[in-house]
Structure 1
Amino acid sequence: MNNQFSTQEYVRMLGKELVFEFDKAGMTTHPHAVGSGRENSARMKLKNILPAGVGVGSGFVIDSFGNTSQQCDIILYEENFSMKFIVNEDQANTYYNCESVIAVGEVKSVASMTEVKDAVKKLSKVNQLKRYNDDGYNYRKYLSATAIRNSLGDEKIEYNSDGDTLKQIFTFLLCQELNAKTYSIIKYMKEKCNKECEYINKILSINGAYISFLDTKQDIVRVLPGRIGADAVFNMVDNQYTFNYFIHDLVDFIAHATTVPLDYGRYLSLSMQIEDLKEVLPI
């Protein structure tokens, strides 16, 4: 009997559990049953290995300009700040404000090029959502309410989410088996994504594939969190610890990425107009 506990093996097996339980939940034809099936133990295990304050759910992502994503399998969000609009008490039919969403992923059993295309279309729409920033310069770290002025000395620097992966929602495709060539995947994203920030950040299979981006222009080759700034793409093949690499990259993203202060009023109220007032009495 082996008395040593391997955290690496635990995380590796968690990846398998996630794919299996999502695949099992998808077998039912009843929408509510699908939502209930996805409230599973694997998702709770995922939550427990992520930084405190990160919630794991599913549903839709919205912005305060009236835009909505398609239904997403996994949504990582800030538990202490996120606004959750739950319809009919169905956790799978929940809407999350984009300012508090950290990452969004799709889970497939076998991902052929058809499933990859579907994921690209769905996840690119997530990063087309617009985070409202009151003056364009303020930002905050994930899991913190403290607003920071984006500046260099006396110069204010605009918070440009389109030009920096660390200011965008992290997107991923997780599957058991990837039956699509890396070249074909990148070619399709190049054709369909209007901006580099709309590329899927990470694509991985628990059977050994891991597609990510590289910056080879420096003396030390760096793995990047997304497409922006990359001049190369790589794929691991037959590596059983791809989910471990993914969790490492995700946690690193959470530690370094930023979002914007949340204006609750943008989602909860409309501006009052004088013509809306029924009575105005002198006092």
Structure 2
Amino acid sequence: MDYGGNRMNGELMYQQSIAAEFVAIKDRVRYFIKDSHWGEDGRYKEVILINYLRRILPNGVSVGTGFVKNNRGELTNQIDIIIYKEQYPKLFSEGDFVILMPESVIGIIEVKSTSTTGLLTYKRNGLSVIEKAERNGKIIGNKRIFNGIFTYDNKINFNSEFAYSTVAEKISKLEGYLNCLSLGSNNFIKYWEEGSPSSYDKRKCYSAYNLSYKKIMGEDVNNMQGFSFGYFISNLMETVYKIITPDILNKQYFEFLYPLEGGKESYKLQNGDIYI
């Protein structure tokens, strides 16, 4: 089957299955706990992603939660998920909880249930979720690591007006330490240090994409999740291998990570570049 120029091949099916798996497990938990114990529900959503990452990360790379402390004595806020190199010394470790030095960190992720304008931009305990992720990245002090925000659902209008939204305004004030956002399974935002690949303007920017099943495959199918989760994981894995074993990043592996024909630039929102 071929829709909108994309063939639902094995790689694309794999991308779509990532979202289907995350959503199915999340819903299964919600059926049991219903409207009570939302703190536990939120924590379980972190565990879903942690367990998935443990299955796909290479040897020598671990996943935990905790803090990072730099050599100036600055401490991050607590980070939901930290991906780190096992061979580096830890300042503290107890089960999944770790306190690390920046040199060991490969990636950090903030996990939330639902993205709303309020969640991403309103300050809680002095920082919004976007500001918290950016601050954590600055304390670690390395733009080469993966630094993402992952939400299972989304209630933000993601259309040609997104560039003028409160969320986009908050993003425009960042310095590029936060580099990847998946807002539900349809909506994806990526940071480009040297400008968007589809633009002649090479200023630093964030680009917003509609990676919904309908947009990419050309048909509206009930309960078919989009490709944002898959591309979030792919960007993480690219970063991991760039840091750990860059030799593996050949043409075949890139085609596996990014299976959309012509790339995701065809699905960038109108006015989708947010310059910083």
RMSD: 3.8
1:114 to 112, 118, 126: 118
Q: CA shift at 1:21, angstroms? A: 9.1
Q: Does 1:233 pair with 2:207?
A: yes
Q: Within 2, Cα distance between the matches of 1:244 and 1:203? A: 12
1:125 to 113, 130, 135: 135
1:221 to 179, 198, 202: 198
Give the SS at the match of 2:84. Answer: strand
2:273 counterpart residue number: none
Q: Within 2, Cα distance between the matches of 1:237 and 1:128? A: 29
Task: Choose between structure 1 and 2: higher helix proportion.
Answer: 2
8 Å CA contact 2:185–2:229 kept in 1: the answer is no
Using the size of structure 2 for normalisation, the TM-score is: 0.60
**Deviation string, structure 1 residues 209-244 (Cα, Å, up to 9, x no partner):** 1112458979x639xxxxx95356222252412111
1:177 counterpart residue number: 153
Q: Within 2, Cα distance between the matches of 1:50 and 1:210? A: 22
2:102 counterpart residue number: 98
1:59 to 59, 63, 66: 66
Q: Does 1:203 pair with 2:181?
A: yes
Q: CA shift at 1:106, angstroms? A: 1.0
Q: Within 2, Cα distance between the matches of 1:61 and 1:44? A: 21
1:243 to 213, 229, 232: 229
Q: Within 2, Cα distance between the matches of 1:108 and 1:35? A: 7
2:133 is matched by which residue type in structure 1? Answer: L
Ranges in structure 2 where 5+ consecutive residues have no aligned partner: 1-9, 122-127, 214-225, 245-276
Q: CA shift at 1:127, angstroms? A: 1.9
Q: CA shift at 1:17, angstroms? A: 6.2
Taking a change above 3 Å as real, the CA distance of residues 19 and 38 of structure 1, as seen in their structure-2 partners, is closer
Q: How do 1:1-283 and structure 2 match up within 5 A? A: 7-16=14-23, 28=37, 40=47, 42-86=49-93, 89=94, 91-92=96-97, 94-117=98-121, 118-129=128-139, 161=142, 165-166=143-144, 169-181=145-157, 182-183=162-163, 184=165, 185-191=167-173, 193=174, 196-198=175-177, 200-213=178-191, 221=198, 230-231=204-205, 233-239=207-213, 240-257=226-243
Q: Within 1, Cα distance between the matches of 2:154 and 2:89? A: 33
